[in-house]
Amino acid sequence: MPTTRLYYSDPLLREFSCNVLQCEPSSHNSSSTPVFEVITDVTAFYPNSGGQPSDRGTLDGADVIDVIERDDTVVHITPADVPLGPTTGRIDIERRFDHMQQHSGQHILSAAFARLFGFETVGFHLGDEYVTIDLNTTEISSDQLAAVERLACEVVFQNRRVESKFWDPAALDRTRLRKPTDRTENIRIVEVEDFDLSACGGTHVRATGEVGLIKIVRTERLRNITRVEFVCGRRALADYRLKNSVALASAAALSVHVRQLPEAVDRLLAQGREMHRTIERTNAELDHFRAERMYGTADMLGGSGIRLIKLVSTTEAPDSLKSIAQRITQMPGAVVLFGSTANGTAQLVFARSADVSLDVSKILREVLPEVDGRGGGAPALAQGGGKRPDSLKRAIDMAAESVAHAIQVPAN
């Protein structure tokens, strides 16, 4: 049973009388809570179709949470049972008007792309967050975008008439349509005065001025198309507000005018990079001095002439310890056993000078079970980590004993 659709002739109708013909439980959207499918003789609710999302509102006081199309019938989805017979439907007109602004804006924008550069619109998405069209091109310059935006806005400023009506297929000159349609009956045409003619079943404004500003937000290349994100009307105002406040806050933080923001950010990034280089240089110098001091004040292992340098740090990052260990072991006759609990785990760095005959990776493997750890490396440098930082000091002490034993007892 075809539903009479009131939105075709009056897209701003907020309230309507109708007869509920059918109300049945539904498994719509496989939602776990039970919902109902309500069919009426007439409706002002727009169903999901042609890229435009469905309306919201109430039917006999019950929330309409979705509206779908089944052949010629409009089906309202409600969480509550609706009694059969006469009642009233109310449309969330704020949401509807937003959809009208975005959808009519899309027709104008698509027509402008087609007119100026021959780009065809092959997709349209109108969501709560984003509105996009897909164009059959992979290259669009910023100059082209500016020209299209300018033309679309001029069409808005001229407040041209927008007429949506059904045409007699025989009377329709299909060559005038921006996009061909395969429909042979019930052809509804949306005409933007002297600018665009498109077959479309959506809800549209009555004059282009109602669309408000049309603003392209960004473009994204996807394989063989370009996706153009844009905003119209109230969404454009909200977008402008957001960007204005973000720009003003950023400019205030950097004590510059909004126009100088890009240079100010570049300057800040360059300063950051320079500071980072300075810190690295300073750290390297500091590591050098610390390595020399630790080497100079280290205890000798008995009469062997080998220096054993131990450290368990709660603040020093393992990378920093590794850097110092490598500097120390560039000098002769040193064995380094470093541990760190700085990141909340047990980290170990063992190293030795080239002239010391000792496999520190073997010693590391011996003590790793103490901290429930894993690791490895080469005879001259090994690293590991474990889950028990509280046992790190004991592991380092055990390693020191192993080193003392290996150095003082000749291998032969």
Instruction: Provide the binding-site residues for Zn ion, judged by CB under 5 A.
Output: 200, 202
The candidate with the shortest Cα–Cα distance to 267, out of 279, 283, 255, 282, is 255
What is the residue whose two structure tokens read 């727009």? 46
**Smallest gap, in angstroms, from Cβ of residue 100 to Zn ion?**
11
Query: Of the two residues 11 and 89, which places its CB atom closer to Zn ion in the complex?
Result: 11
DSSP secondary structure string, 156-205? HHTT-BEEEEEE-GGG--GGGSSS-----SSEEEEEETTTEEEE--S---
Query: Nearer Cβ to Zn ion, position 180 or 410?
Result: 180
Our CB check for Zn ion shows the closer of 162 and 399 to be 162
CB nearer to Zn ion: pick between 46 and 338: 46
Helix or strand holding residue 400 (H, E)? helix 392-408
CB of 198 to Zn ion, least distance (A): 6
Tokens 């297929």 belong to residue: 169
Distance of CA 18 to the CA centre of its chain: 43
Q: Which residue is associated with the tokens 């973000």?
A: 246
Q: Which residue is nearest to Zn ion (CB)?
A: 200
Q: Which is nearer to Zn ion, 198 or 340 (CB)?
A: 198
Give me the least distance between CB of 201 and Zn ion, in Å please: 8
User: How far apart, in whole angstroms, are the C-alpha atoms of residue 105 and residue 188?
Assistant: 18
In the complex with Zn ion, the residue whose CB is nearer, 202 or 212, is 202
* Nearest distance in Å: CB 103, Zn ion: 6
CA dist list (Å): 60 to 68, 69, 74, 79: 18, 20, 16, 12
* Residues whose CB is less than 8 angstroms from the CB of residue 327 and which lie 6 or more positions away in sequence, other chains included: 287, 288, 291
Shortest distance, position 204 Cβ to Zn ion, whole Å: 8
Minimal distance in Å, beta carbon 244 to Zn ion? 31
Q: Which residues pair with 88 in a beta bridge?
A: 17
Determine the residue type at 291. Answer: A
